[in-house]
Amino acid sequence: MMGASMFKRDLFTTTEEHFRAEVVDFLDQEVVPHHDAWAAAGQTPRKIWQKAGSAGLLCRTVSPDYGGQGGSFLESVVLIEELARRRISGFLACLQGDIVAPYLMKLASPEQKARWLPGFVSGETLGAIAMTEPGGGSAIDAIATNWRRHSNRLVLNGTKTHISNGRSADLVIVAARSATAASQPGDSPELTLVMVEADRPGLSRKPIAKSAMPALDTAEIELENCLVPQDNILGREGRGFFYLMSFLGIERLVLAIYAQAMAEQMLTELIEACETRRVGAQTVLDFQNTRFNLAELYSSCAVNRAFVDQAIRAATAGKADPRTACIAKLRCAELLRNVALAGVQLRGAAGVSEASGARATQDLLDSALQSIWGGTNEVMRDVIGRSLASGL
Ligand SMILES: Cc1cc2nc3c(=O)[nH]c(=O)nc-3n(C[C@H](O)[C@H](O)[C@H](O)COP(=O)(O)OP(=O)(O)OC[C@H]3O[C@@H](n4cnc5c(N)ncnc54)[C@H](O)[C@@H]3O)c2cc1C
């Protein structure tokens, strides 16, 4: 059983709170009991996606025209938070609903939407977004995967790495550059987003073993003379860089919401642990050093919470701002890492041994990942810093 959240908030209406109760029931019954086994396997079974789809939990913001609920971003927030509070790394429903599906919702033609979105909602179809390459995920302008026309088809070549749901996805949105268009130094690269069905000949994938978020399917995807119809272009040809930059704004906010909810949950558990653990005649919480440390983390959580909720409000009103998302992601990822470090240190040996230690050290690894994916903390600083030059 999980307690109430750390701060009083006035974001949610009864609609979202009812939805939260459904999400909590589903996660506690269908996901949490199996999650350790999925983590050991490095893969989450497909049937959980279908079960979640049948329960109406996936892709809530998709329009009813394509099988969704037409819900608000606040429903997405509820799902992201409850996943994070349980440290669910495998069944990342927010990846499907709030990171990949928006590309289709905003850019796809009516035919493409009708083909793919109902499966996203039902959980029959899994999606992935493939930007990162072995040559450096931070340099999107250096993407080397390329496409060229061959009569009315596109031929794709290149390698994508660390792709979430990469092994299980049925549809991969691939960022690729035109093999023929030359770009000048300093130009935005001419990238195009291409939808590649995973069963196309020429597409192969292999799992990547990793220590953070262990139940998440993470894979390398190789495209070798992979042919797709030219109708598989998503949005406008050559506009891929612009699309990636704008959709990364939502992705970063989603990751900030995840990191903030995880930080609050981990801090709540740490305070309980410090209150319970006796060292001689006193508890760990009785030490002034502990109280100062926890006060610092709690204060940062409170400030981040206010900032993240403000960003959520703006995004719900259709006024998401990419720079705000970068600030939120940077601050929440850094705070999460600090909470995770304290989670090991203040538990003493219990922070690295037995069940409590396994949890605390896994938290440390998972927290480190939040500073990397979706753009590293260094890249967040770079983006924020560059934006200052163009005016506040
Ligand atoms: C579990 C997991 C899931 C992922 N899922 C996806 C996915 O679904 N789709 C996808 O496309 N990608 C995905 N990624 C990739 C992720 O987005 C990249 O790992 C991330 O963008 C960083 O790229 P990189 O790992 O290649 O690091 P690099 O770009 O090689 O960076 C190495 C170091 O250099 C630093 N650095 C780079 N550029 C700068 C700069 N300008 N200034 C200062 N320092 C800099 C970085 O901060 C970092 O510390 C995933 C990664 C992981 C680990």
- Give the pLDDT confidence score for residue 4 in this predicted structure: 72
Fold annotation for 242-389: Butyryl-CoA Dehydrogenase, subunit A; domain 3 (1.20.140)
Burial class (CB in 10 A: 0-12, 13-18, 19+), 25: exposed
Q: Are 347 and 357 in contact (CB under 8 A)?
A: yes
Determine the Cα–Cα distance for residues 231 and 226; give it in Å rounded to an integer: 15
Q: What is the pLDDT of residue 389?
A: 84
Q: Quick one: which atom of ligand 1 is closest to the CA of 376? A: 47
Whole-number Å distance, alpha carbon 256 to ligand 1 midpoint, is 16
The whole-angstrom separation of Cα 370 and Cα 354 is: 25
Tell how far the Cα of 309 is from the centroid of ligand 1, in angstroms.
Answer: 26
How many angstroms separate the Cα of 83 from the Cα of each of 25, 79, 144, 309?
A: 12, 6, 34, 17
Residue of 145, 162, 369 best suited for mutating to test ligand 1, as the one with most atoms within 8 Å of CB? 162
Residues with a CB atom less than 6 Å from ligand 1: 128-132, 136-138, 162-164, 210, 213, 216, 218, 369, 372-376, 378-379, 382
**14-125 to CATH, choices 3.40.50.720, 1.10.540.10, 3.90.1150.10, 1.10.760.10:** 1.10.540.10
Beta bridge partners of 206: 220
Looking at residue 371, its pLDDT comes to 98
Residue 280's SS3 state is coil
Give the position, in ligand 1's atom list, of the atom nearest the Cα of 131. Answer: 11
* C-alpha to C-alpha distances, 326 to 12, 98, 197, 374, 383, nearest whole angstrom: 24, 16, 31, 10, 8
Task: Please give the single-letter amino acid code of residue 108.
Answer: A
The whole-number pLDDT of residue 190 equals 87
Taking the centre of ligand 1 as the mean of its atom positions, its distance from the CA of residue 134, in whole angstroms, is 10
What pLDDT score was predicted for residue 42? Answer: 87
The per-type count for the chain, helices as H runs and strands as E runs, is 12, 10
DSSP category for residue 188: P
From 103, 250, 372, the mutation candidate for ligand 1 (largest count of ligand atoms within 8 A of CB) is: 372
CA of 138 to the centre of ligand 1 (A): 5
Ligand 1 mean position to 374 CA, how many Å? Answer: 7
Task: For residues 254 and 96, give the distance between their C-alpha atoms in angstroms, rounded to a whole number.
Answer: 12
Q: Is 251 a catalytic residue?
A: yes
Q: What SS3 class is residue 29?
A: helix
pLDDT at 2: 72
Tell me the residue length of the chain: 392
270 Rama class: left (phi>0) / alpha (psi -120 to 50) / beta: alpha
Question: Quick one: pLDDT at residue 391?
Answer: 64
Q: Domain residues of the chain, as ranges?
A: 14-125, 129-238, 242-389
CB 355 within 8 A of CB 279: no
How confident is the model over 257-268, as pLDDT tens digits? 999 999 999 999
Out of 16, 251, 269, 334, the active site residue is: 251
What pLDDT score was predicted for residue 158? 98
Right CATH for 129-238 from 3.30.420.140, 2.70.98.60, 2.40.110.10, 3.90.226.10 = 2.40.110.10
The pTM of the full predicted model, rounded to 2 decimals, is 0.96
What is d(CA 239, CA 193) in angstroms, rounded to the nearest whole number?
Answer: 8
Q: What is the pLDDT along the chain (392 residues), one digit of tens a residue?
A: 576 789 999 999 999 999 999 999 999 999 999 999 999 998 899 999 999 999 999 999 999 999 999 999 999 999 999 999 999 998 999 999 999 999 999 999 999 999 999 999 999 999 999 999 999 889 998 999 999 999 999 999 999 999 999 999 999 999 999 988 665 545 567 899 999 999 999 999 999 999 999 999 999 999 999 999 999 999 999 999 999 999 999 999 999 999 999 999 999 999 999 999 999 999 999 999 999 999 999 999 999 999 999 999 999 999 999 999 999 999 999 999 999 999 999 999 999 999 999 999 999 999 999 999 999 999 999 999 999 986 65
pLDDT score recorded for residue 353 = 95
User: How many alpha carbons lie under 13 Å from residue 245 in its C-beta half-sphere?
Assistant: 13
Backbone angles phi, psi at 163, to 5 degrees: -95, 120
The residue to mutate among 376, 378, 381, 387, having the most atoms of ligand 1 within 8 angstroms of its beta carbon, is: 376
The minimum-distance atom of ligand 1 relative to the CA of 213 is 1
Helix ranges (H only) for 317-353 are: 322-345
